[in-house]
Amino acid sequence: MPHAGVTALATFVALISLVPLGFIAWITWDVGWQTVESLVFRPRVGELLVNTVLLEVLTVPLSIVLAVTLAWLTERTDIPGARLWSWLAVAPLAVPAFVHSYAWVSLIPGMRGLQSGVFVSVLAYYPFLYLPVAAALRRLDPAIEDAAASLGLNPFQVFLRAVLPQLRLAICGGSLLIGLHLLSEYGLYVMIRFDTFATAIVDQFQSAYNSPAANMLGGVLVGCCLFLLGFEILVRGSERYARVGAGSARPVDRRRLGKLAPLAILLPVLLAALTLGVPLVTLGRWLTIGGAAIWRLDAVGTAFAQTVVLAVAGGLVTTLAAVPMAWLSIRAPGRLQRILEACHYYVGSLPGVVVALALVTITVRLALPLYQTFATLTVAYVLLFLPRAMVGLRASIAQAPVELERAAMALGRTPGQAVRQVTMRLAAPGFAASVALVALGITNELTATLMLSPNGVQTLATRFWSLTSEIDYVAAAPYAVMMIVLSLPLTLILYSQSKRTAGQ
């Protein structure tokens, strides 16, 4: 088998990622088909499916339009303060999704339902699309656009026919990431009282520890994820995105906005106010009400330190686990590769509570010493955030020409040495960005950490959630602030690495 070593590593990770699916299958077999039929084919599941489909169909296209428009303004036009707006477009990643939701609910208590869910979801998740699209725009060769313009196309036609097709890989990857988040998000939709499969699963598990109904809902959620994966693969295609040729791409000439500049600047200003202004004002109000007394440095400092350790360790392990599959998806596409890739992605759609309960059941029954240990918690993070690591790595490896690997092998390097010394070095910015992206997710992860963390370990997210559950919003404010403080450097790493990828 070609690439047998890399395929074996990717297969091992894929088998581990199948653990939650195996857990659901075992529960399905255990309860019997009649129970499955009564739990799955019922009106409640239909309502949840309609809610989830509407959420995906509305949120993802709106995020694409918003992210592509903003990326074009900041990367291809002479909009005043382009560097500032590009940084502020990424900064919302530093604010957890459930903090976004609570900030808006505090401001407008009547926010609830589908419209509110779509609104807050777009604000919280559009940076996942902005980052890869902006990075792709920086690396595009403007000679292709010049050639299209010389054939008589107007600027809008040039964008549609010459630029947009080259953004397809970035748009597909970012859209898939947003789609998976929408399937698995819990805290955001609980606060605005919008029912999805994730909220229903958590409610079922809270009412009954080993609930067959919750596991059946998890099975339906896996089916939704597999549909997203298949659709993304169909749209992505197999086109080549790397450039090899004489010379290098010249710098892009930014388009002059002229009289449209004041109108264009309204978009980034409005987004910054909605995504950063509202959460910061809400947290500022909490801190003002509580005063200095709510800053218990012993509790806040301990939660901060433990969050940092878990985020860094989980980010490194998850990204390393995703490297073999990311390389195979670009260098050796095929039927086996697509199956393994689906195994890496599907688990990202599962709520953390499903992954956590699968690991709890396995460790309690088969490996009790591993129950509530850092090792088990790290495995949960790997399963939950593999898609995040895959997207950044795949895009970076796709832009590293395979001809350079072949040239290295022609000079005497083994295939493994060629990959490590050439491709992985070129993809290093994407690796760092993936680590930061996973660490961001771990910093804000809630349900799996609550169930799997060792005794005495409390992260910023779990402390914030426990206090808000007790309606003690003032005491929860310092933990939300520290989550943002911790997430900001990671967001800055994402931004700087995306710039470095484009040679800026």
SS (HEC) of 344-405: HHHHHHCCHHHHHHHHHHHHHHHCHHHCCCHHHHHHHHHHHHHHHHHHHHHHHHHCCCHHHH
Higher pLDDT, 392 or 501: 392
CA distance 230 to 50: 20
Averaged pLDDT of the chain: 81
CA distance 139 to 249: 8
Which residue's entry shows tokens 């969050």?
A: 307
62 pLDDT more than 80: yes
Q: DSSP secondary-structure letter at 274? A: I
209 pLDDT more than 70: no
86 pLDDT more than 50: yes
Q: How many residues does the chain have?
A: 504
pLDDT range class, residue 314, cuts 50, 70, 90: very high
Give 316's contacts (C-beta < 8 A, 6+ positions apart): 435
So what's the pLDDT on residue 247? 46
So what's the pLDDT on residue 110? 83
Higher pLDDT, 237 or 331: 331
Which residue's entry shows tokens 């500022």?
A: 284
Share of the chain above pLDDT 90, in %: 12
So what's the pLDDT on residue 2? 54
Q: Residue 67: which of 145, 140, 142, 123 has the closest Cα? A: 123
Section 240-262 average pLDDT: 64
pLDDT range class, residue 269, cuts 50, 70, 90: very high
Section 331-354 average pLDDT: 78
Q: Residue 232: which of 319, 325, 345 has the closest Cα? A: 345
254 pLDDT more than 90: no
Q: Which residues pair with 152 in a beta bridge?
A: none
- The token pair at 325 is 């599959």
Share of the chain above pLDDT 70, in %: 92
CA distance 346 to 439: 20
Section 457-478 average pLDDT: 83
Give 489's contacts (C-beta < 8 A, 6+ positions apart): none
pLDDT range class, residue 40, cuts 50, 70, 90: confident
Contact of 494 with 132, CB cutoff 8 Å? no
pLDDT range class, residue 54, cuts 50, 70, 90: very high
So what's the pLDDT on residue 323? 87
Summarize pLDDT for 378-429 with one digit per residue, the tens. 999 999 888 888 877 877 777 777 777 778 777 777 776 777 777 777 777 7
* Local structure of 77: helix, strand or coil: strand
pLDDT range class, residue 55, cuts 50, 70, 90: very high
